[in-house]
Amino acid sequence: MMSYTVMGDVVNLASRLEGANKEYGTRNLVSERTVAAAGDTVEVREIDRVMVAGHTHSEVIFEILGRKGELTPQQLTSRDRYLEALAAYREQRWDDALRALDAALEAGPGDGASIALLKRIGNLKASPPPQNWDGSWHIEK
């Protein structure tokens, strides 16, 4: 009998993103390639820039929020504040990032990605990243 399996970088990334949903409190993380393939049919939110085990470059990951044009005003506000927080986070402006995340959670209480980033920023404030940090987060499992 023959046994077939799928291998490669794309499959590795997809597998890592499936597991990363737990960390980010999301249900459907996708890569930049998937967002490009979907075109303008879906609303997405950039979640992070990650480096997965076995890769030497970071990948931008997104959460699919819904069909294009179908987000509520609260979802749009939460997404926009999260993106502000993500930009401040990457520039190590921790307090600005925390304020934006508070606003994101006010618009979308219980947002897993915002909660995950809040925790991470708390850790990074206590133990700052190295000077050459590019804002990428490492996903090992």
- pLDDT for 44-89, tens place per residue? 999 999 987 777 788 999 999 999 999 999 999 999 999 999 999 9
* Backbone angles phi and psi of 51, in degrees to 5: -115, 115
- pLDDT for 1-26, tens place per residue? 676 666 677 777 788 888 889 999 99
Spatial distance between the Cα atoms of 42 and 85, rounded to a whole number of angstroms: 22
pLDDT score recorded for residue 106: 97
Instruction: State the pTM of this model.
Output: 0.89
